[in-house]
Chain A
Amino acid sequence: MAPSLLYPATQLPPASALALSQQAPAVLRSSPATVSSSPLSALFSAPEKPELWIKYENLILSCLRTGDDQAAHQCLERLVARFGNGNERVQALRGLVKEAEAQDDSALEEVLKEYEQILAENDTNIPIAKRRIALLRSMGRVSDAASALVQLLEFSPTDAEAWSELSDIYLSQGLYPQAIYAMEEVLLLAPNAWNIHARLGELQFMAATAPGVAGGSYQKYMAEAIKRFARSVELCDDYLRGYYGLKLVCKTLLSGGSNKTAKQTDDEFAIPDTRNTERLNELATAKLSEIVRHSTARDQGWRGYDEAEIAAARQLLSDDVAASSAIER
């Protein structure tokens, strides 16, 4: 079954994107080609639904991804007919189509120039500013993208999506402290986002296990990672990603952490003692195996998990079993 067209489709697997873009002709046929925005005609025709425009937007994304440029153009035309050329979101979508169709670097430079022209007229056009940053990053000019993004964030510091992108850019450059800082800003704006807590835990774990980390900051990162993963499973029952991270961190601490133990100086970042770590590890193992068992059996009410995530959890659990049986031998 193809996923619904009402959610943004940027992280779907290729097969679902293909299924979505194959819906394009049906959606285009079943909805009217133009919808008038005048209030008078709205009295006589069926009311327009906001879902339709969201569908068009998501269709453009999946069609561009699968290379169905014609359908993307049709969707874009309808959006232009309804909202006009000056609409900021429509401008960004138009830019997106041009980016996707650009054949070489000079065409991309053209698109970039267009973005800069629009921004010169109106530098509060946030969708276009975001597209420009994404294009810069896509062209490999990562430092330009980062500085543009920092500028954007100075101008609108409550944009959680932009902070998250900044964190991703820093992470791609290996700048873990900066990436963690940006992700913490996201958490300030969305304190209940369980996936962001898990993401921050992953960042802390990556920072801790990166080569060349001093003992003190290793401890700090690991303690923070435990805290973040624990918070994510506190915010969300049976959160596979949170328990996976929790187990991974505890396992690393229990197996190899002892040789890196430095004197604990800061009470705030104290790693829980070995007994508590073991108990956390046991809890995470029990939860993970419960999730894997139910999900593998396709039990009612346990079918929402991602296949790949379940496979990874199974792998982690079997590694654990293999290691413990090796110790017993």
Chain B
Amino acid sequence: MTWISKSITTLGGLLLAHACYSAREHSALQSLRAASAASLTSLPSVTTSLPLDIIIETIVATFIILLGLVLGTRPLRPIEWRVWAGKIEREGEEGFIDGAGEVNKDYMGNPFSALESRPNFVDIRKQRREFAEWVKKGG
């Protein structure tokens, strides 16, 4: 998915650069012609606008870049609480993996699970005993 969005953005960028270059060339040519015409006939120079194809190219290039950028965004988070919570419960870490294959940094599972595990009240001696028993049983 990322390479599609990147290539579309690059294409749009090339088109936009081309449009800019054409516009610059066009205006340089126009001013040269106006200067030569003025020296010949001393008439007031006519202001000319850009040709239609350059304008269209610019607009199309902008939209292509926009399309590429939009395609490249990360999937949006669910807005509704129950959908988001359900995603956490159903998919676990897998649902929050970004393009690089890593779990999102701000993913923390159920944010309220600490209210049940209560890390500040942990009974470390009991946990040690249970772990030792688990090892004895052959883990």
List chain A positions with a Cβ less than 8 A from chain B: 4, 6-8, 10-11, 14-15, 17-18, 61, 64-67, 92, 96, 99-100, 102, 127, 130-131, 133-134, 137-138, 160-162, 164-165, 168, 186, 190, 192-196, 199, 234-240, 291, 301-305
Contacts and interface: CB of A to CB of B under 8 A. Distances in A.
29 contacts: A8-B117, A10-B122, A10-B127, A11-B113, A11-B117, A15-B139, A18-B131, A61-B124, A64-B128, A65-B124, A65-B127, A65-B131, A99-B125, A102-B125, A134-B122, A134-B123, A138-B125, A161-B115, A161-B120, A164-B118, A192-B81, A193-B112, A194-B112, A236-B82, A237-B89, A239-B89, A303-B91, A304-B89, A305-B90
B99 interface: no
B98 interface: no
Interface in B75-116: 81-83, 85-95, 103, 108-110, 112-116
B113 A195 contact: yes
A159 to B, nearest CB: 9
A65 B85 CA distance: 30
B4 to A, nearest CB: 21
Contacts of B117: 8, 10-11
B99 to A, nearest CB: 17
B120 A303 contact: no
Nearest to B114: A8
Contact of A65 (B82, B119, B128): B128
A130 B120 contact: yes
Contacts of B113: 11, 195
B94 A301 contact: yes
Contacts of A64: 124, 127-128
Nearest to B120: A130
A196 B90 contact: no
Contact of B90 (A131, A133, A302): A302
Interface residues of B, number: 41
A192 B88 CA distance: 14
Contact of A134 (B88, B92, B121): B121
A305 B87 CA distance: 11
B116 to A, nearest CB: 6
A96 B95 CA distance: 35
Contact of B115 (A130, A160, A239, A305): A160
A140 B139 CA distance: 28
A162 B112 CA distance: 14
Given A194-B85, A235-B82, A237-B85, A14 B114 contact: no
A100 B128 contact: yes
A94 B119 CA distance: 15
Contacts of A304: 88-95
Given A236-B82, A237-B86, A238-B90, A196 B124 contact: no
Given A8-B114, A164-B118, A235 B91 contact: no
Given A7-B108, A66-B131, A239-B85, A161 B93 contact: no
B119 A239 contact: no
Nearest to A108: B125
Nearest to A189: B115
B134 interface: yes
B100 to A, nearest CB: 16
B125 A8 contact: no
B126 interface: yes
A127 B112 CA distance: 19
* 5 A-B pairs with the lowest CB-CB distances in the bound complex, closest first: A237-B86, A304-B92, A193-B112, A236-B85, A8-B119
A96 B110 CA distance: 25
Contacts of A18: 131, 139
Nearest to B130: A14
Contact of B118 (A10, A17, A238): A10
Given A11-B116, A190-B115, 16 more contacts: A8-B117, A11-B113, A14-B135, A17-B131, A18-B139, A61-B122, A65-B131, A67-B132, A190-B112, A194-B110, A194-B112, A195-B113, A236-B82, A236-B85, A302-B90, A305-B89
B25 to A, nearest CB: 48
A15 B125 CA distance: 18
